Structure 1
Amino acid sequence: MDSKIKLIQKINASQNQLNIQLASRYEHELDNQLTAKQVLLLELIQNGIASTKDLSQHLNTSMSAVSQLLNKLEAKEYITRHINKENRREIILNLAPKAELYFDKLQELNDDINYHVYGQLPLEDLQHLDRILSHLNTIVEEV
């Protein structure tokens, strides 16, 4: 096994360990009744992507699967759905107060992690990490 692969495996293990440590430290502070896909769907709605068709394209899944996720989120009172009065075939999705509270709490946790974890790194390391993550995002977009 060449040294590059070994280093990549070490980076993956370190990243997994960091995620586990952060999850175990903060999981009790967040609402655990949401799945990862439901959270992603809420984030998309929060960012203005609010049609079933657009959501299915962003999630790379069927409109039927998105509808099922939306039904569950509506039942849990995270979203509301209203018929567009100007185009009755269109349904308008909005975050409900429960989702707004979820995102407020998530922002508090992110601020805490930024201060207590990333804030411990020197500025030069943060700049280097930013460059690496930006480069990785570019690579993923091209793959």
Structure 2
Amino acid sequence: MKKNSLLHMEIKQLSDLISQLFSDEIRNLVKDEEFVRLSSKQLMLLDLLYQKPLTMNEIAEAFQMTASAASQLVKKLEADNYVKREINLENRREIHVLLDTKGKHYNQKLEEMEMYILDKYYGKLENEDLIQLKDILGKLYHIAVEEQ
């Protein structure tokens, strides 16, 4: 076992526990919301579409599924106004999927809940601790990017 392997595992375990606690709290906050009935794949798609519209092929690739399965995933969300399809005006054979009214609402609520949780917990740390945490996470991020 390497010199700091135990320490690395303890850090990972704490990070995982914190992530799980935050996820559980978000789940409790959304339990009365309509989108609580959406599947994990549907929620993941809404998260991806929040970043940018995707083509059906990009959705199929992201979920490692067939184009037909991707179309079914989109169809269910489209029926409930979470997403909509638009023809790409530059390539009329290509269809873009983007967030519709309920999809935008979902992402807005998720952002609000995340900010609530971050303020609730990070707000209890001293400013110096937050700066140190940000610096350490930034260093770790840059190491990971360089190693790719």
Shorter-chain TM-score tier? 0.7 to 0.9
**2:14 corresponding residue in structure 1:** 14
The letter for the 1-side match of 2:91 is N
**2:64 corresponding residue in structure 1:** 61
**1:78 corresponding residue in structure 2:** 82
Residue 91 to residue 8, structure 1, CA distance change in 2 (3 Å): same
- Is the CA contact (8 Å cut-off) linking 2:50 and 2:99 kept in structure 1? yes
Aligned counterpart in structure 2 of residue 102 of structure 1, from 91, 100, 106? 106
CA deviations 1:28-72 (Å, max 9, x no partner) are 222333444433332332222422344456x37356364454334
- Is the CA contact (8 Å cut-off) linking 1:55 and 1:66 kept in structure 2? yes
1:1-143 to 2 correspondence within 5 Å?
1-30=1-30, 31-55=35-59, 59=62, 61=64, 64=67, 66-85=70-89, 87-141=91-145, 142-143=147-148
Structure 2 distance, partners of 1:42, 1:17, is 25
- Is the CA contact (8 Å cut-off) linking 1:84 and 1:91 kept in structure 2? yes
Give the structure-1-normalised TM-score.
Answer: 0.77
- Is the CA contact (8 Å cut-off) linking 2:53 and 2:96 kept in structure 1? no
The letter for the 1-side match of 2:105 is L
In the alignment, structure 1 segments of 5+ residues that lack a partner are none
The letter for the 2-side match of 1:12 is K
Structure 2 distance, partners of 1:54, 1:136, is 29
In the alignment, structure 2 segments of 5+ residues that lack a partner are none
Residue 3 to residue 111, structure 1, CA distance change in 2 (3 Å): same
Deviation of 1:7 after TM superposition, in Å, equals: 0.8
Q: How many residue pairs are counted as aligned between the two chains?
A: 142
Deviation of 1:115 after TM superposition, in Å, equals: 1.2
Deviation of 1:108 after TM superposition, in Å, equals: 1.2
CA deviations 1:5-36 (Å, max 9, x no partner) are 11111112212221232233231222333444
Structure 1 distance, partners of 2:66, 2:141, is 27
Give the structure-2-normalised TM-score.
Answer: 0.75
